[in-house]
Each structure stands twice: as structure tokens, then as C-alpha cells.
Chains A and B, each alone.
Chain A
Amino acid sequence: MTRILNANIKKFIGAKYERIPKTLAVWAILLFALRSSEIKIEIAPIVVWLTTIFLTIYGFVQVLSSDDTIDSLRGQLMLPENPAKFHTAFFLSVALYTLLTKSGLLMVIYFAVSKFQLSAVIGFVLCFIVSGIVVYPLTFHSEKRGTRYRYIKHTRRSFTFYLLRYLMNNRKYIANTAAVWAFGSVFAVLIGKDAPSDFLPVGFALMCLNTPLGILLSSDRALYRQIKLLPGQTAGVLFPYALFITIINMIACVVYLTVWKVMIGSFLPIMILFAALFSIVSAGLTVVLEIKFPLLDWKVESDLWHHPRKYIVPGIMVVLAFSITF
């Protein structure tokens, strides 16, 4: 079992387990920074437990449903391994990866900002283990979906339609996009209670964070190679890609403005122009990052989802928002 565990941990964590010290360093820095800032929030144990369940299920589903993981399983399952030992080892490797990349961060934040309660910590451990054990057999599969030929009657399509098809075929991307819009609605209500409408641009900046669309070329290395191969891809791919992200960003900003209007009240008309500006600028920056600085050396597809690069564009946009606000 140790052999199987080692093989899979190396895949998820790196050949020299390099993700472990990196993650521990990030946790330590975060813990130190939050403690130093003296931010104190009372987090009820039930909130910790529910968030743990959500993050653990999300982490397991993300790893186990990835094509990359499924491809790596075929060769392992061909070998005459003991099924119980194989699944125990594979479960442990996925659990460790989920703990390091998702659930563990929650505990770090809890220790940093909230009053320590033993029940929260014991509940975290139990919720992590139980939700992992429950979701693993439901999500584990070693074969991709059976081929289902989809007839396409068009003979020519813009790359913008390609992206729409791409988005519609990936449920987790749709869920992520919907989550951004939901976040915007909640953010509008929360910030609107205490802040003037000058704060609206900060929300525009946050609404322009769409991880799956921002890593499209990085996650599809073959597509990136074809874009490098073919001539004329600035017009053929990059402009339509920027246009598509702009449209998605604008929809997110419209949701945000609509919620603000309904729940809080009026805002200056110039905010509509700012929404368009933030949507266009962040889309342009995202595409430039993807073509000039793609992340192509990922080991597990979900590495891309929490790569710090995704915060560069929203970071720039937040700075822009504050410079407009003040």
C-alpha cells in the first residue's frame, strides 16, 4: 500500500513532495499576517463544519473528475493490485492533496482570527474524514464518459462560439461562473449597507475574477500549441477570447448593479461606464497573461485553479477601483 500511496502522492504533491513545504510556508505567512493585523471574528463551530464539508467535497470532486486523474488511473488499475489496498492508498493521496490545497486553509484562517474552541477542531477533522469517505465512492471513476456523438451542422463558427460551447460542456465552469454572480449579489448587499455608491468599482474588480475562463489556454496545452502553430491567431482566437471574457464580465457586473439598484438604491450613471471599462480591461489583461505567461507545467489540472497568478488581474483591478474611489 505504501508503494501505491507514494506513487500517487508524488503525482499530486510533486516528485520530491515539494508542495508540502511550499504550502506550510504559505500557511505560516498567512497565519502570521492575520495574527499581526489583529483581525478578530467570532466563527461559530457549525460554520467551520459546514465550510469543511463544502470544501472537502469540492476538492475531491475536482480531483476525481479531472480527465488528467482518470488518465493516470488506467495504468494503475491494469496492474493486479489488491482493490482494498489500492483504494485506501488512492483515497489517502486525494485526501492529503485536498487538505493541503483546500480544507487546511480554513483551519489556518480559523486559528488566526477566531477564538479557539476544541469542538470546532474536532468537528473539522470528523467532517473532513466523513465527507471524504462519502464522496470518494460516489465520484471515483476510471473511465471517461462514453462517446456521445454530437452533430454540428455549422461549417464555420467564430472562436467566441467555440468558447460558449466549451463553457456549456463543463458543468464546473458554469457553477464557478454562477458562484461569481452569486458572490456579487451578496457583496452588493453587504457593502451597500455601509458604503456610498463610490465603492461600486471595488465590486466590479471582484466580479471580473473568473478562474476557469482565465486559464483556458493554460489548461488546454494542445490548444495553446495550435495557437502558436497557426498564423493570424490574434484575430482568430485572442480577440474573440477577450470578447468572450468581456461579455461574461459585463453580465457579472450587470447582476451586481441590478442587485445594488434593487436592494440599496440608485447609483451614478457613470458607474455603467466604469463597469464596461473594468470588464474590457480585465479581459484584455487576462488574455495577455494567458498568451505571454501561460502556466503549462502543471501536474494536476486543479493546480491551475488555485495558482496565485489568478489574483494578478483582480489585484490590478482592485488598485484601479481604489484609485477611482478615492
Chain B
Amino acid sequence: MKNLFTINALNIWYRKDNPVIKDLSLTLSPNEVVGLIGLNGAGKTTLINTLSGVHKDYSGGVNFTDRSFKLTRYTVFSEDASFQYYAFNEYLFHAFAAYGKTANQNRVDALVEGFGFSEYRSFLIRDLSTGNKRKVFLITGFALCLPLLFLDEPVNGLDFQSTEYLYSLINGYREYGTVMFSSHVLESICLTADRVLVLEKGCISREFTRGQIDAVRIREALHDTDS
């Protein structure tokens, strides 16, 4: 199967003499779900920010700000307070226009319903609670149906029903493309991922594939990382 995305020897830094990610190689296949785990400070968010084209200090021969690459991916950040003076409907229109796409209204309505967001879609994002703000970007990401969807700590701030719904969406996304998400919640990884990458000291130290993914193994891997 042709790979969707391959990077080799990726280095990312805030200070060049102390890289956060060192010589990282990563391959993503089409229509898979990849979980990214690691201790705090391991570089998960920095990696996702770089792949999203918003962190500029990196080397590795790939241009993440190239327009043709940008058109293939969308990211839901762990915290996002952007476009606060748009309502959800307006932001959705803005994002779809940016990708040159027209929203499938049935899918958008289903996502809004699934996340229990119906009564908030016409209010300013600024006025929404933390969880509802997060839903604005999750719904947009899942509605765009791009080949690549990055989610940084997607479960944070969501209520129980929305979390369950998110797991079903991640599992269903294989129909459209690939999801790569970071998480500290083992349940989210175990219930959805085809592959799990353990990020440690700026490198992928271990990888688990479908049959190996269970909470005990991953917990042990994280304990090894800790020690």
C-alpha cells in the first residue's frame, strides 16, 4: 500500500542546541488511526504543531507550509481560542472556504447532533464553555473529511457522551483518511488506534501494532520511559 506521508530525520527545536525532536522518522498509511503517547514534555504537541505548519524551527527536508500539503490536513489543537468573534456556523464556512470545499450539510448536522452542540451553533465562540469551544474545531475537522486529521489531546474538556461519540468518529474516519492523535488517556488509545507510537526524549522509542495494543503493555512502556 502506498504511504500517505513519510518523513525522515526530522529535527525540531526551540533552541537549536537542544532539539525537542531528534532524527525522527514517521510513516503514515492511508486510512489508519495512529495514537501518539509520551510523558509530559516528550514533544507530542511540538510534533503536531510542526506537522501542522505552525512551528517553524525544524529541519528534515519536508515543507509543512506548502499549500498542496496544507490542503490535505487539518489540526484540532489542544487549546484553541481563535476566531472568537465568529459563531460556529461562520467558522465552519470560513474553514471550508479555506480548503475550497463545500460542507456536506447532512454530515455537519449529524456531527452537531452527536456532540450535543445543536443549541450552541449560532453563538459567538467567545461565549462558549471550554468543552463547547473544543467541539467547534472537532466538528470542523471531522466534517472536512481530509486525508489527514491531527488531534492534540482531543478528549480534554469533553463530557462523557461526547468522548464516547469522539471514539466512534475516530474509528469511522478510516473511511475518509488517517487520524493521528496524541493522548494521555489510555482508553482513547486502546479503543481506537491501529498503531501506537511512544515518544521518548524526542524519538519514537517503541511502536505497538493492532494485536499488541492493550492498556497493560502501554502502561509498562510508559513506566519504562519514566525510569
Contacts and interface: CB of A to CB of B under 8 A. Distances in A.
A235 to B, nearest CB: 9
B98 A165 contact: no
Contact of B82 (A147, A152, A155, A226): A226
Contacts, number: 90
B80 A226 contact: yes
B80 A155 contact: no
A225 interface: yes
A193 interface: no
Given A148-B127, A150-B124, A225-B54, A162 B82 contact: no
B85 A166 contact: yes
A152 B124 contact: yes
Contact of A226 (B71, B83, B93): B83
Contacts of B127: 147-150
Interface in B112-136: 122-124, 126-127, 129
B98 A152 contact: no
Given A228-B54, A229-B52, A232-B100, A152 B83 contact: no
Nearest to A153: B122
B70 interface: yes
Interface in B23-62: 49, 52-54
Given A152-B89, A155-B93, A162-B85, A230 B98 contact: yes
Given A154-B90, A162-B86, A222 B81 contact: yes
Contact of B89 (A155, A231, A232): A155
A159 B82 contact: no
A223 interface: yes
A154 B87 contact: yes
B99 A232 contact: yes
Q: Which of B83, B84, B85 has the most CB of A within 10 A?
A: B85
Nearest to A156: B93
A169 B85 contact: yes
Contacts of A265: none
A68 to B, nearest CB: 12
Interface in A156-182: 156-157, 159, 162, 165-166, 169
Contacts of A159: 94
Q: Which of B54, B71, B92 has the most CB of A within 10 A?
A: B54
Interface residues of A, number: 28
Contact of B90 (A148, A157, A169, A231): A157
A225 B82 contact: yes
Nearest to A223: B82
A14 interface: no
A151 B83 CA distance: 16
A136 B168 CA distance: 51
A154 B121 CA distance: 11
Contacts of B110: none
A212 to B, nearest CB: 14
Nearest to A227: B82
A220 B67 CA distance: 23
B122 A162 contact: no
Nearest to A170: B85
A152 B122 contact: yes
Contacts of B98: 230-233, 236
Contacts of A236: 94, 97-98
Contact of A154 (B70, B81, B89): B89
A155 B85 contact: no
B218 to A, nearest CB: 29
Contact of A223 (B70, B83, B97): B83
B94 A231 contact: no
Contacts of A162: 83, 85-86, 90
A231 B127 CA distance: 26
B122 A232 contact: no
Contacts of B71: 231
14 contacts: A149-B123, A152-B87, A154-B87, A156-B89, A157-B93, A159-B94, A169-B126, A225-B54, A225-B80, A226-B83, A229-B52, A229-B74, A230-B95, A236-B94
Given A149-B127, A236-B94, 16 more contacts: A147-B129, A152-B86, A152-B87, A154-B89, A157-B93, A166-B85, A222-B79, A225-B49, A226-B82, A229-B70, A229-B75, A230-B70, A230-B94, A231-B98, A232-B99, A236-B98
Interface of A: 147-157, 159, 162, 165-166, 169, 220, 222-223, 225-226, 228-233, 236
Which A-B residue pairs are the 3 nearest by beta carbons? A152-B87, A222-B82, A226-B82
